[in-house]
Amino acid sequence: MKVGLALSGGGARGFAHLGVLKALEEANIKVDMLSGASAGSMAAAFYSYGYKPEEILKIFESTSLLKLVWPAFSFTGLLSIQKTESVYKNFLEEDTFEDAKIPLYISTTNLNEGKAEMFSSGSLRQAIMASCCIPFIFDPIKIGTDYYVDGGILNNLPTEVLKEKGCDFIIGVNVAPVIKEPNLSGPKRMIERVSVLALSANVSYSSKFCDMYIKPAELRKFGTFDFKKSRELFEIGYEYTKSMLETPDNKKLELLLNQPKTA
């Protein structure tokens, strides 16, 4: 059974993706294809290159990588996301999709065309930076003749591409749940709220393609900028996924879990 895994955007809550990956590995579920948007594109890219979940967590923590792509907001003008490229160079040296050990698709928004666009070839670093490029905060990333921004705007849970590419079992991980927000005081909270709503607007449709939909409710109490809670977010993703795997709710998941174990 060919397994596809889609990872959503969600700022610091993206640390939960790494816990999900750890739980899947422990259940001996081999991921055959990956897709990701925004913070999810980062986790998907590093995992596709062969890094283990705990390794990725340490890289993100030690380099403050997620914090670099979700900065504290200011009104001094647009920032450049290019400063993150030096971090990617240290760990994704080849800078190609072709060198990934697992086929990878990264969701972006093409501003010129006004549509979602999926990258699976070319510069991996440029694709990740485009997928994480928050509008009005960062300068858009130019790839070829077009400009790109955050993939989560139009496709925050890129499951469709996994279906199109022949995955038999699709796992979707949504780390940006929406609940009522009573406090919207200040520009930082307002922009964070708008970004979360934008990321979540298209997930309802994409989640319909999931055979296993992972959406930890506990993540609701965390904000986009809770970078110091990386380990706690990691553990939430891990424990939630582990509990789902221990009590499968559909025959397809049971079949996947009962497949012959691979080395």
DSSP class per residue in 178-215: --------SHHHHHHHHHHHHHHTTHHHHGGG-SEEE-
Regions of the chain where pLDDT drops below 50: 72-77
The answer as to whether 171 is a domain residue is: yes
Phi, psi of 146, rounded to the nearest 5 degrees: -110, 160
Task: Classify 87 as helix, strand or coil.
Answer: helix
Segments forming the whole domain that contains residue 101? 3-254
Q: What is the pTM of this model?
A: 0.89
CA distance 44 to 57: 12
The answer as to whether 259 is a domain residue is: no
The one-character DSSP state at 229 is G
The answer as to whether 263 is a domain residue is: no
What is the per-residue pLDDT for 198? Answer: 67
Task: Retrieve residue 38's tokens.
Answer: 């925004």
What is the per-residue pLDDT for 116? Answer: 95
Active site (annotated) includes residue 8: no
The answer as to whether 120 is a domain residue is: yes
What is the per-residue pLDDT for 93? Answer: 87
Number of domains within the chain: 1
Who contacts 167 (Cβ-Cβ below 8 Å, separation ≥6)? 2, 3, 4, 32, 33
Identity at 97, one-letter amino acid code? F
Active site (annotated) includes residue 150: yes
The answer as to whether 262 is a domain residue is: no
The answer as to whether 176 is a domain residue is: yes
Who contacts 216 (Cβ-Cβ below 8 Å, separation ≥6)? 16, 175, 177, 236, 237, 240
CATH number at residue 45: 3.40.1090.10
Note the pLDDT tens digit of each residue in 83-133: 778 788 889 988 999 999 999 999 999 999 999 999 999 999 999 999 988
Task: Retrieve residue 141's tokens.
Answer: 């990333």
The answer as to whether 62 is a domain residue is: yes
Q: Which helix (H) or strand (E) holds 48?
A: helix 39-48
Task: Classify 221 as helix, strand or coil.
Answer: helix
* Helices 53-63 and 15-26, axial angle in degrees (round to 10): 160
Q: Of 48, 150, 195, 230, which one is the catalytic site residue?
A: 150
**Unique residue bearing structure tokens 């240290």:** 90
The answer as to whether 237 is a domain residue is: yes
- Listed in order, strand segments (DSSP E) in the chain are 3-7, 33-37, 104-110, 115-119, 141-143, 146-150, 169-173, 212-214
Task: Classify 232 as helix, strand or coil.
Answer: helix
Q: Of 38, 41, 200, 206, which one is the catalytic site residue?
A: 38
